[in-house]
Amino acid sequence: MKRVIILGSTGSIGTQALDVIRANPRRFEVVGLAVGRNRDQLEAQAAEFGVDDVAVGVAEAEQLVRDVDADVVLNGITGSVGLGPTLATLERGITLALANKESLIVGGDLVTRLAQPGQIVPVDSEHSAIAQALRAGTDAEVRRLVLTASGGPFRGRRRDELTDVTPAEALAHPTWDMGLVVTTNSATLVNKGLEVIEAHLLFGVDYDRIEVVVHPQSIVHSMVEFIDGSTIAQASPPDMRLPISLGLDWPNRVGGVGRPLDWTRAQEWTFEPLDDAAFPAVALAKQVGRAGGEYPAVFNAANEEAVAAFHEGRVGFTGIVDTVRAVVEAHEATPGDLTTETLAAAEASARRAAQARIAAPA
C-alpha cells in the first residue's frame, strides 16, 4: 500500500487524486493533506480519509512533508510557491508526483540536482504521456518530443482578434476544468510554453527537439518520435485521473480510473501547426528555457502578475505575454550559482517590474 501526502488537496488535482484513492482503498492510504486556506473542506477530507496530519499554508505544507512518513507526495499546489515542498520531498528521497510544474521550471538545476533517477513522476497529462511513450525505446533512439495543445478557447484567431477578449472568454476552456491561473495560461499558451521547459528538464531533450502541435480534440496527449520514423502516442479521453493514478503508483496502472476510447464510433482527430504570431508564448518560453538560470522564474512571476491584472481589468489579453516579454528582456541575472535566495530576489524583481509596466504601459 502506498502512503500518500496530497498538497493542494482541495484543488482540481487534489480532489481528483482523492477520487482515485477513494476507489482504491487497498492500494493507497492518505497520510497527509495540505491546503492554501480552505480549512473547512480540509477538515472534511481529513475526517473521511482518517488523516491526522494536515496543514494550512505553503510553509506548513513543506513542514508536513518533512515530518510525515510517506511513499509519494503529490504536489498539486498552484504557482512557484510550490518550490519549497518540492525540494523538501526530493531531499527526503520520497517519490514526487509533480503537478506543480512551476516548482520544477522555476527551480531548474536546484530541483534536477536533488532528484534521484526516476524520483520525479510527471502528473501533467502531456508529460505523463511522454513518460509512457518513452518506455517504447531508449534515450538514444528518441528523435523528438511532440507536445499537443488544445489551442484553448481562441484557437484559430489572429492576434488582432485577441485584443478585446474578456476574462470570462479566456476561462471558457473547451476541454479541461482547471483553476483561474492555469486556465488563463492555457488561453495564452503560456501553459504550453511552461510545459516545453518542463519537458526539457524532465527528459533531458534539447529545445530544438521539442515541438508543439495543436490538437483540439485533446485525445492524443503527447507523442515521442523515434529515429526509425516511428511515433508512439498516448491517447485517451481527457481525464486527469489517469495521469494522477500513474503519478501515485508509477509505473503501475490503476484499473478503472478512466474510460477507454470507443473504437466502434467514428471520430476525427486533427493536428494543426501552432500560430506563433498570434500565440508567441511558446517561442518566448523556449528562449527563456535556453537562457536558464533565473529567467524561467522571471518569466513565471511576470506572467502571474499579468494574469492577475488581466482578471482585474488592468491589462488586455495580449498584454499578458507582452508584459512577460518586456520583463524578461529587461532582467539582469545575478552572477553566480542559482540559489533559493537569488531565485526569490529575481521573482520579486520580476513582479515589481510587471506591476510597473502594467501601471504605466509604454
**DSSP of 29-82, one letter per residue?**
EEEEEEESS-HHHHHHHHHHHT---EEESHHHHHHHHHHS--SEEEE---SGGG
Q: Cα dist. 32→17, 21, 100, 158 in Å?
A: 13, 13, 17, 46
Q: Count of CB atoms within 10 A of residue 15's CB?
A: 15
pLDDT at 174: 75
Residue 12: closest CA among 326, 197, 238: 238
What does the block give as the cell for 350? 520580476
List, for residues 279-337, the tens digit of each pLDDT value.
999 999 999 999 999 999 999 999 999 999 999 999 999 999 999 999 999 999 888 88
pTM above 0.85, yes or no: yes
pLDDT at 181: 87
- 2-123 is classed CATH 3.40.50.720: yes
Dihedral over Cα of 123, 131, 209, 149: its sign: negative
Per the rule left: phi > 0, alpha: psi between -120 and 50, beta: everything else, 347 is alpha
**Can you name the CATH fold of 293-362?**
Rna Polymerase Sigma Factor; Chain: A (1.10.1740)
pLDDT at 182: 84
List, for residues 90-118, the tens digit of each pLDDT value.
999 999 999 999 999 999 999 999 999 99
Q: Which residues of 297-314 are buried (b: 16+ CB within 10 A; e: fewer)?
A: bbbbbbbbbbbbbbbeee
Burial class (CB in 10 A: 0-12, 13-18, 19+), 292: middle
Mean pLDDT of each 10-residue bin along the chain, 362 residues long:
97 96 97 95 97 97 97 94 96 97 93 96 97 97 97 93 93 75 92 96 97 96 98 96 98 95 95 96 97 95 96 96 97 90 95 94 62
Q: Cα dist. 204→68, 109, 210, 288 in Å?
A: 31, 12, 10, 16
pLDDT at 172: 87
Domain segments of the chain: what residues?
2-123, 125-239+262-286, 293-362
Q: How far apart are the first and last CA of the chain?
A: 57
pLDDT at 322: 97
Residue 49: closest CA among 110, 3, 85: 3
Contact between residue 296 and residue 306 where contact means Cβ atoms under 8 Å apart: no
pLDDT at 191: 93
Instruction: Indicate the residue type of 210.
Output: I
Decide if 2-123 and 293-362 have a common fold: no
Residue 220: closest CA among 171, 276, 272: 272
Q: What's the CA gap between 5 and 46, in Å, rounded?
A: 12
pLDDT at 362: 59
Q: What's the CA gap between 53 and 33, in Å, rounded?
A: 7
Q: Count of CB atoms within 10 A of residue 268's CB?
A: 6
Q: What's the CA gap between 147 and 129, in Å, rounded?
A: 9
